[in-house]
Amino acid sequence: MSDAPWPARLSPKALAVLDDLPEHACAMLRDVLDIAGRDPWSFPPFDPRDPEGEDVRSASVGQLTAVYWNNRTAGRLYVIDIVWLG
């Protein structure tokens, strides 16, 4: 895993998943979070039926899903969970 800073803050649960990800999945996650950081609303809401939860989003690409919260006041993303189906 690269020592470069992540484009989002990671929860303890997400960090635990990150330790088990293969190198190519870590690179994919970094790219997905970079895209989400530039335009957090480009990915769909985690639960589209919850109108108050619009800031919780899921960024999915292939076998990888990152569930993140868009912290508007701090201007950054907070990754709640990472799912890797690999």
- Is residue 48 a part of any domain in this protein? yes
Q: Bigger pLDDT: 5 or 43? A: 43
What pTM was estimated for this model as a whole?
Answer: 0.83
26-73 tens-digit pLDDT: 999 999 999 888 888 888 888 888 888 889 999 989 999 999 998 888
* Full residue range of the structural domain in which residue 44 is found: 9-84
CATH of the domain at 34: 3.30.2310.20
- Is residue 61 a part of any domain in this protein? yes
Count of domains forming the chain: 1
Q: Give the three-class secondary structure for 60.
A: strand
Question: What is the predicted pLDDT for the residue at 3?
Answer: 63
- Is residue 75 a part of any domain in this protein? yes
- Is residue 13 a part of any domain in this protein? yes
- Is residue 1 a part of any domain in this protein? no
Question: What is the predicted pLDDT for the residue at 44?
Answer: 85
- pLDDT for 4 beyond 70: no
- Is residue 50 a part of any domain in this protein? yes
End-to-end CA distance of the chain: 17
